[in-house]
A and B are shown apart, each in its own frame.
Chain A
Amino acid sequence: MRFTPTELTQDELRLQQDVRSFLFEELPPGSHDPCLGMAARKDKEFSKKMAERGWVGMALPKEWGGSDRKAIDRFIVVEEMLRWGAPVGHHWVADRQTGNVILKFGTQEQRERFLPAICRGELGFSIGMSEPDSGSDLASVSTKAERADDGWIINGTKIWTSGAHENDWFVCLLRTSPMEDGNKHAGLSQLLIDLTSPGLEISPIPFLDGSHHFNEVTFNEVFVPDTNVVGDLGMGWHQNTTEMAYERGGPDRWLSPFSTVEQLLREAKGTELEATVSDLFGELVARWWGIRNLSLSVARLIDTGEAPSVESSLVKEMGTRFEQEVVEKLVHLIDLEYSPDSNSMFERLLSQCVVTFPGNTIRGGTIEILRSVASKGLKGLPA
């Protein structure tokens, strides 16, 4: 494990500046309630505008509608979007991982069919991993795909499916052959499923504050054609693990409370609160600077062709705990009874952080699972 310091090149700094100018124009400060990280509002128009600038699926090859840019370029765009609280929800999953998976493992036909549409910011994807009896122990998935003529018949249930009620497609990890000799990792495959397929039913699992992100998706004899199998049959576990390296360790794992912190400074400016928040801001800028540098070095590593699963797990575990720590420090410091419908944007955002951030250390792999992944890769003293 080694995190090599890196910095942005002149070209990359220009991209950063372009994204900042775009955001300043599209969403001037104060004109919108910022979203808190990747659980952002879905705004197809905004996704389209980003896509027009080549900022969706940007690391995909030009022949598929991408921009042939690197993981680090995507890092720069995502970082600016998240710290601004931009509504990136519609293209989020496709941009972060599904595009990569289809490029890497998909057939030529799947690439033609999906990648250009992803890069136009049109397609929204959900991810189907968890099931009622399969959470952190992901390899225990039991939703079955059984052989039929020219395809597969699916029965079973997926849960915690973010955005299934608004998205177009569902990338699902399914059992395509029965478990043999207790090898849980074999016999799993990834299938692309149209969320409007007959027999597929989507019902909300309301979030603790009543909002609707999660769903339960049930399959009742749902037919999926052979052409929608991603990669090789039985290789779903391996593909899924590769996907995780993209999913973990990016700015979405440490920037969620940023717009709340920024808004506090905006509202405290010139009030007596300014002196109170000063020391806290000192600590926060230092920590963000440090974690960002680690996260940036993971993106550079991905650009060298590696899948740095240990490094990205370490960053995600640290980053999501930091997000919660930030909120706790704000709550501790700000001596007021904040409320979700206050006139103060800071109070509204803080209320939302308090209520939703317990999920940050759970989603996409709990920190307990991340520790187990990361600790296997830790090295002791050099021999």
Chain B
Amino acid sequence: MTDITTVDPLITETADRLLSQTCDHESIQRAEAEGGAPEIWDAFAETGFPWISISEEAGGSGGSLLDALEVLRLVGYHAAPIPAAENGVLAGWLLGASKQEIPSGIATVVPSPGSQVTGILSGDEVVVTGVAERVPWARAAEKIVVLLEIDSTNFVASIDQDLCEVKPMTNMAGEPRDTVSFNDVKVAACPAEPGVSPESFRFRGALSRSALMAGAIEKMSQLTVTYTNDRIQFGRPVAKFQAVQQHLVWGAQDAALARMAAETAAREANRGDALFEIAAAKLISNQAAARATKACHQAHGAMGMTQEYPLHHLSRRLWSWRKEYGGDAEWSRWLGEVAVAQGADALYPLITGGSSTLR
């Protein structure tokens, strides 16, 4: 297999153009009020973007995981109100890994199935029961995909949304995070390939969020530079004041740091497990999001606190994504246990060599 380390520039260009045309302030605001933006999704789906990284035999668009994560970075950058991460990188991956059909409509995933949803094997079917919380865009989905560990085997259940009860709920950015009840729903029992487990699913979810967050922090930083250069006080742009420059520099640093972390983790995940890189990238994105939202809001003054100005599309998403697929505590604990287990002499090799030193 060839070692892919760069993204096809055409993907970046096309996704950026499409999303900048479809996701302006008004359309994102409208999506929040109406609980979705089917026209944005349709335009996005028409290009095949939702199924990048899923092989063409499996009904996907082909391309590498690196390409798919680049699209997610741009989805985050434009605060696009669509379930791009859920559909391809998560649900699509699970479906592909259990030889199931990719639906023509939206597929979403149950983010934390273990504690909320259970499955029982019954012949060649799985009976799914439970209440799943915070399921992204369940209301708009055709399929709700659940990874279930039954008797130490991992199964992927692909469930028709209309067999479930969906209660609309949201995250802090007003993105759909619905509560879904499964009342003894029967679906085909499809075992997952080796390597697909609750743990690897958690890491993949974290990887998807790092890509989204890297994009959102970068846009937020650029928005802040633009605003502070336009805004005149005391006879000059506020960006000329040293106290304001500090916020601009800190925002730009966190944008650079989060993007570097997400892109490096993406490169490594395209090659293999990349557990260390993904854990580090999610922790870095979480902390960068916390610092950068603070700096960018402060530099914007009161304007950033209004609905009419677009900063909140980014900052509220970042506050939500920070907690999805693992907050600061979960990932610092995971990394800390690894670091301590490696020991003092292996500490620096871990920083330079990452996951390759864990094998």
Contacts and interface: CB of A to CB of B under 8 A. Distances in A.
A287 B336 CA distance: 12
A274 B345 CA distance: 15
B242 A1 contact: no
Contact of A289 (B259, B336, B354): B354
Contact of B245 (A29, A281, A297, A371): A371
B contact face: mostly helix, strand, loop, or mixed? helix
Interface in A276-308: 277-294, 297
Nearest to A255: B348
Given A278-B337, A314-B249, 9 more contacts: A278-B333, A279-B329, A283-B283, A283-B328, A285-B280, A286-B331, A372-B242, A380-B222, A381-B226
A282 B267 contact: no
A375 B239 contact: yes
Contact of A5 (B242, B260, B280): B260
Contacts of A7: 5, 267
A282 B283 CA distance: 9
A281 B277 CA distance: 15
B257 interface: yes
A379 to B, nearest CB: 7
Contacts of B351: 285, 288-289, 292
Nearest to B277: A289
A258 interface: yes
Interface string B228-264: 0100000000010010011011001100110111011
Contact of A269 (B257, B263, B284, B344): B344
A279 B223 contact: no
Instruction: Report, as a range, how many residues of chain B touch the other chain.
Output: 35 or more
B21 to A, nearest CB: 14
B194 interface: no
Contacts of B164: none
18 contacts: A1-B256, A3-B260, A265-B347, A278-B339, A279-B329, A279-B336, A281-B336, A282-B336, A285-B338, A286-B279, A286-B332, A288-B351, A290-B280, A293-B264, A294-B256, A294-B257, A314-B252, A314-B253
Interface of B: 5, 219, 221-223, 225-227, 229, 239, 242, 245-246, 248-249, 252-253, 256-257, 259-261, 263-264, 267, 276-277, 279-281, 283-284, 287, 328-329, 331-340, 343-345, 347-348, 350-352, 354
Given A292-B352, A317-B249, A368-B242, A5 B345 contact: no
A1 B257 CA distance: 12
A379 B225 contact: yes
B231 to A, nearest CB: 12
B284 A378 contact: no
A161 B5 CA distance: 45
Given A5-B267, A380-B226, A317 B253 contact: yes
B327 to A, nearest CB: 12
A258 B249 contact: no
A274 B340 CA distance: 7
A40 interface: no
A262 interface: yes
A29 B248 CA distance: 42
B18 to A, nearest CB: 15
A5 B263 CA distance: 7
